[in-house]
Structure 1
Amino acid sequence: MMTEWKNALEAPLNHRTIREFKTDEVAAEVFEQLMEVARRTATSTGMQACSIIRVKDPEIRQELANVCRQEYVARAPELLIFIVDQHRNSEILREMGENPAKAGDMDKFFQGFTDACLMAQNVNNAVESLGLGAVYLGSILNHPAKTIEVLGLPKYTFPVVGLGIGYPNQNPQQKPRMGMELRLFEDRYQSFPGEYLSRLNDYDQEMTTYYDFREANRRSDSFTLQVVQKLSGGIPERQAMMNQIVAQGFDLKLKP
C-alpha cells in the first residue's frame, strides 16, 4: 500500500513549472487521453460550463505570447486555453424558447470559472504523471480584451488560464513553498497580526536560494519582498477585468 501511495504522489510532490520544451510533438494518442481526462473532470451542477481552445495557428500563438509578455508561449508543442463557456448553454436556452441571458449571471460565471480551473489542474496532473511538463499561463489575462479578440470568444465566455504542454527541455529547481501552518486552519481562519515577517523569516531565507530560470538563473528575492513588489504594482487591464467580464455579457447584479 505504501508503495502505491508513493507512486501516486510522486508527480504532484515533484511539480515544477517547465517553460522550455523539446521540439517533439505530443503524440496524438497521448493528447486524446489528456482530453479524456479533461472531459471526465468534475463540473458544477453537471453544466460542463467550460471549454478548451487548442491553439495551433502560429500567428495566434504569437499574439498570445505578446499578451503574456512571454516569448516561450508561442513555442510550446501544445498550447491550451481554458475558458468559461456559458455560450453553449445560452444557445440551448435560446433554442428551447428561454431567455439566453439566464446563462449570464455571476453565479453561472463562477461555476464556469471553477470548472475551467479544475479541468486545467486535472490535465496538468495527467501531463506530469506521463513524464511530460507544463506551464500555467495566467498571463493570458494581462489584456483580457485582446485575448478575447484573438480567440474569437463570443458572448458568455471568458478566458481563465492557459497551459503549455510538452517534453521538458530543462530541469528547473523546485520552487520553495511556505509551510502549511500559515495556510491550513481548523474550523476558522487564523490571523497573526504583527507576526508574519517573523513567522516567514525561514521561508524568506529559503526563497533567496531559489534560482528562477525566467530571470537568467538569477536568485529569487525573499517572499515578503515579492509580496510588496507584486501587490504594489499591477497591470491596469488586469485590475479592470470586471469591465471586460461585463462586456462579455455577464451581469454583476451589484447593489446600488
Structure 2
Amino acid sequence: MNETIKTQLNHRTIRKFTNEEIKDEDFKLMLEAANHAPTSVGLQRYSIVRIKDQKIKDRLAIIGGQDYMKDARELLIFIVDLYRNARIGTEKGEDISLFNSIDLFFQGVSDSFIACQNLVIAAESLGYGTNYFGNIYNDIDEVIRIIKLPKLTFPLIGLGIGVPNQNPQLKPRMPLDKKVFTNEYKIFDSYLDELKDYDEVMRTYYDLREANKRVDYFTSQVVTQSKKMSHNRKKLIKSIQKQGFDLHL
C-alpha cells in the first residue's frame, strides 16, 4: 500500500490543534494541490476565502455552534463562484443570465468539493490535521454578509487546518457492500437488519466531542441528526436564490 492511500485510510477529524503555525511552504503546497484538482470543463467555478481575522473566526464559531472552529490555525471557506466567469462574460458583451443556471451552480459545487478534498489529502500527507465545517449552514446569509460575498457566489464548506493536538479513534465506516452496488441500486428488505453489525461496531467508538461517552447506534443517529436540522438550514434554497442563482431548468 502506498503512502497516499495510507493517509486516506487513516483520516480522522481533528478538533484540537496546537498553537504551532503552519509552515508557509506547506500551506502553499496545499493550495497548489487544490488548484490542480479536476474541474468541470476546466472552468474552475470555485474560489477560497482564507479567514485570517480572529474576530471573523470567532463570529463564525458562534454561528456554527462549535467553539473549536475559532482555534484552527488556518480556516478556509470554499465557495461556488460563478461571479468571476459572469464578469468575464459581461465584459465580452454577454448577458449575465448565461452564467447563473442551476447546471453551472452544481458544477461549482462539485468543483469546490473536489478542490477541498485535494487540499485535505495534501494537508494530511504533510502531517497536519483537518476538520470540515458544515456548520456554516446554520446561518448562511450571515456568513455571506460577513465574508462579503457578491451575487453568484455561495459558501459551501469550511475547512480547519492545523497541527493535531489530539489522537482520536478511527471512526468505523459502513461496510462497502451496503453502499457499493453493481449496475443498479440495491434495495434491502430491512436496513435495520443489514446494519445491525455496524450498529454494534459504532457502539465501541468514542467521539472526543463528548469525552468518555460512546456514540449511539448508527441507525439511531440517522433519525436523531435528521430531527436536529435547524430552521435556518431549511431556508437554504431561498438563500441560494438571493445570491442570484436561477434554480429553474
Which amino acid in the other structure matches residue 100 of structure 2? G
Instruction: Tell me the equivalent position of 2:227.
Output: 232
1:155 aligns with one of 151, 158, 161 = 151
Q: Map of 1:29-44 to 2, 5 A cutoff?
A: 29-44=25-40
Structure 2: runs of 5 or more not aligned: none
Describe the SS at the equivalent of 2:2: helix
Quote the Cα distance in structure 2 between the aligned partners of 1:8 and 1:39.
18
Matching residue's letter, 2:195 = L
Residue 109 of structure 1 deviates from its aligned partner by 0.4
TM-score, with length taken from structure 1: 0.95
Q: 1:8 Cα deviation (Å)?
A: 2.7
Distance 1:249 1:41 in 2: 26
> Which string of whole-angstrom CA distances, capped at 9 and with x for unpartnered residues, describes residues 36-62 of structure 1?
111111000111000000000011111
**Displacement after TM superposition at 1:160 (Å):** 0.5
TM-score (norm 2): 0.98
The CA deviation at 1:216 is 2.6
Instruction: Write the distance in 1 (CA, Å) between the matches of 2:246 and 2:94.
Output: 17
Partner of 1:218: 213
The one-character-per-residue Cα deviations of 1:212-235 (angstroms, maximum 9, x if unpaired) are 111233110000000111123311
Structure 1 partner of 2:62: 66
2:100 maps to 1:87? no
Q: Distance in 2 between matches of 1:152 and 1:219?
A: 40
| CA distance in structure 1 between the aligned counterparts of 2:3 and 2:147, rounded to whole angstroms | 38
230-239 or 9-18: bigger deviation: 230-239
**What CA distance in whole angstroms lies between the structure 2 residues aligned with 1:11 and 1:212?**
20
**Deviation for aligned residue 1:253:** 1.1
User: After the TM superposition, which segments of 4 or more aligned residues of structure 1 sit over 4 Å from their partners?
Assistant: none
1:241 aligns with 2:229: no
In the TM superposition, 1:137-176 aligns within 5 A as: 137-176=133-172
**1:52 match:** 48
Encode CA deviations 1:52-83: one digit per residue, 9 max, x unaligned.
Answer: 00000011111111111101111100001100
Q: What is the distance in 2 between the residues matched to 1:215 and 1:102? A: 48
Say whether residues 1:8 and 2:4 are aligned partners.
yes
Q: How high is the sequence identity, in percent, across the aligned residues?
A: 46
Deviation, structure 1 residue 184: 0.3
String of CA shifts for 1:140-159, please: whole Å, max 9, x gaps. Answer: 11111011011101000000
The CA RMSD over aligned residues, in Å, is 1.0
Any idea what SS the aligned residue of 1:191 has? coil
SS at match of 1:29: helix
Gaps in structure 1 of 5+ consecutive residues:
none
Amino acid at match of 2:90: R
CA drift of 1:93 comes to 1.0
Paired amino acid for 2:232? E
Distance 1:218 1:90 in 2: 50
Secondary structure at the aligned position of 1:159 is classed as strand
**Deviation, structure 1 residue 101:** 2.4
Q: Which residue of structure 2 lines up, in the alignment, with residue 205 of structure 1?
A: 200
Name which of structure 1's ranges 99-108 and 109-118 shifts more when overlaid on structure 2: 99-108
Aligned residue identity for 1:76 = A
1:96 aligned to which of 92, 95, 101: 92
2 CA distance for matches of 1:230 and 1:72?
20
Separation in 2, partners of 1:84, 1:231: 25
Query: Hey, what's the Cα distance between the residues in 2 that align with 1:226 and 1:146?
Result: 28
Query: Structure 1 residue 252: deviation in Å?
Result: 1.0
- CA deviations on 1:152-205 (whole Å, 9 max, x unpaired) are 010000001011001100000011111011100000000113x21111111101
The residue correspondences of 1:108-187 to structure 2 (distance < 5 A) are 108-187=104-183
